[in-house]
């Protein structure tokens, strides 16, 4: 069965759905992308049109999560935007009192490369005996499951320092050749949780010394950006840092944080 074509009216249904659930704005240019990502589910569920599939989503919560997973999954890789990791290593950690726990939140962790990168750096700089942890969250349950498996293609590890590969990763052999497994000592320091940044945050997240909200706001319209940033920085400790993507800015979004470097902000102490 071939997937049907998607009309402008049907695309508008999914635009509103994704905006309501995740705050993500899909531009008209994303119509082909949306149709492509959902086409396999259209065939698998044997429905005649995208409108019929939309009705199915209204009835079946599990299928709705599948659709959201397909539409919100984005590719990432280890040590993306290396200047952030350099700043964490040379500026943030040396100033942090060693007797205090150091907590990091990777607020849109996708398939897990970002939080594991942070955890490797913290393990290297603070050691296994220090009190530190990484919380990693995403809207998509599919990428969270992938992140918890911690198995990645080697081509997504090009920026991963060689020394970290040797110390904190296991190289696949046989049927797993070309893959990499993050070591258990690192995996145990990263806690995964489903969080929708477009909704009130769940209780019990705690406060953080560093929050990474990188390459997320590019999908939001201005009002949603303001709401999401306000929610997130409420979890930031006084003196804590917020990292955003290098193509992003808080200009016109939030003025309570101090710009330290491009894409790096600090909450007043």
CATH superfamily of 82-151+182-266: Vaccinia Virus protein VP39 (3.40.50.150)
| CATH classification (class only), 8-72 | mainly alpha
pLDDT exceeds cutoff 80 at 3: no
Domain parsing of the chain, residue ranges: 8-72, 82-151+182-266
Q: What three-state secondary structure class fits 137?
A: strand
Give which of 125, 134, 137, 104 is closest to 237, Cα–Cα: 104
Distance of CA 48 to the CA centre of its chain: 33
pLDDT tier at 76, thresholds 50, 70, 90: confident
pLDDT exceeds cutoff 80 at 1: no
Full-model pTM: 0.86
Give which of 80, 45, 81, 46 is closest to 64, Cα–Cα: 45
Interval 187-209: pLDDT, tens: 999 999 999 999 999 999 999 99
pLDDT of 233 reads 96
Interval 131-178: pLDDT, tens: 999 999 999 998 999 999 999 999 889 899 999 999 999 998 888 889
Pick the catalytic residue from 37, 45, 226, 266: 37
Is 167 annotated as catalytic?
no
Tell me the C-alpha distance between 29 and 165, whole Å. Answer: 39
Is 40 annotated as catalytic?
no
Token pair 């962790």 is at which residue?
109
Pick the catalytic residue from 69, 103, 138, 189: 138
pLDDT of 258 reads 96
């Amino acid at each position: 069965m071939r997937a049907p074509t998607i009309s402008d009216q049907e695309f508008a249904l999914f635009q509103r759905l994704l905006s309501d659930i995740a705050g993500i704005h899909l531009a008209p240019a994303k119509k082909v992308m949306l149709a492509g990502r959902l086409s396999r589910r259209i065939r698998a569920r044997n429905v005649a049109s995208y409108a019929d599939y939309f009705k199915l989503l209204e009835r079946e919560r599990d299928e709705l999560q599948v659709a959201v997973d397909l539409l919100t999954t984005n590719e990432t890789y280890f040590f993306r935007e290396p200047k952030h990791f350099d700043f964490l290593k040379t500026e943030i950690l040396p100033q942090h009192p060693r007797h205090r726990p150091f907590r990091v939140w990777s607020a849109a962790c996708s398939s897990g490369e970002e939080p594991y990168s942070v955890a490797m750096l913290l393990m290297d700089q603070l050691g296994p005996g220090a009190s530190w942890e990484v919380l990693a969250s995403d809207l998509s349950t599919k990428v969270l499951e992938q992140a918890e498996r911690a198995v990645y293609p080697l081509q997504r590890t090009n920026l991963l320092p060689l020394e970290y590969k040797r110390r904190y990763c296991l190289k696949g052999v046989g049927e797993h050749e070309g893959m990499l497994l993050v070591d258990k000592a690192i995996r145990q320091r990263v806690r995964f949780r489903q969080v929708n940044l477009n909704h009130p945050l769940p209780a019990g997240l705690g406060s953080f010394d560093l929050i990474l909200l990188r390459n997320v706001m590019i999908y939001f319209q201005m009002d949603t950006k303001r709401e999401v940033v306000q929610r997130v920085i409420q979890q930031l400790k006084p003196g804590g840092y917020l990292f955003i993507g290098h193509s992003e800015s808080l200009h016109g979004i939030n003025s309570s944080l101090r710009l330290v470097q491009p894409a790096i902000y600090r909450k007043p102490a």
